[in-house]
Structure 1
Amino acid sequence: MSSTRIPTSTSVTESAVIAAPFASVWHLIKLESFASFWSALDKSEFVKDVASDANVDVVKWTFKDGTVLEVKQEAHSSIDHYITYSVISAAPQLTYSSVVSTVRCFPITTGSNEGQTFVQWSGNFSSDADAGVIEDAKFKRREALADLAKAVAK
Structure 2
Amino acid sequence: MSHSNIIPTSTSVVESAVIRAPLSHAWHYIKLQDFDKFWSAISKSEYVKGANEETDIVKWSFKDGSVIEVKQEEHSSINHYITYSVITAQPELTYTSVLSTIRCYPITSGELEGSTFVEWTGNFSSDADAGVIQDAKFKRREALADLSKVAQKK
Do the two structures share a fold, i.e. TM-score over 0.5? yes
Which residue in the other structure is 1:23 paired with? 24
**Do structure 1's residue 89 and structure 2's residue 88 form an aligned pair?**
yes
1:63 corresponds in structure 2 to 62
User: What is the CA–CA distance in structure 2 between the aligned matches of 1:79 and 1:31, rounded to whole Å?
Assistant: 17
SS at structure 2 position matched to 1:112: coil
Q: Is the 8 A contact 2:70 2:86 kept in 1?
A: yes
Name stretches of at least 5 consecutive residues in structure 1 with no aligned partner: none
Letter of the 1:25 counterpart: A
Over the matched positions of the two proteins, sequence identity in percent amounts to: 69
- 1:47 corresponds in structure 2 to 48
| Runs of 4+ deviating beyond 4 Å | none
Instruction: Compute the displacement of 1:2 (Å).
Output: 5.8
Q: Deviations over 1:72-121 (max 9, x none)?
A: 00000111110000000000000000000000000111111100000000
Partner of 1:130: 129
Shift of 1:55: 1.6
Distance 1:25 1:71 in 2: 20
Find the residue that maps to 2:50 and give its secondary structure: helix
Which residue of the partner structure matches residue 10 of structure 2? Answer: 9
Q: Distance in 2 between matches of 1:82 and 1:145?
A: 15
Match of 1:99 in 2: 98
- For normalisation by structure 1, the TM-score amounts to 0.96
Q: Which residue of 2 aligns with 1:145?
A: 144
Q: Residue 20 of structure 2 aligns to which amino acid in structure 1? A: A
> What is the RMSD computed on CA atoms of the aligned residues?
0.9
| Pair 1:112-2:122 in alignment | no
Corresponding residue for residue 33 of structure 1: 34
Relative to the length of structure 2, the TM-score reads 0.96
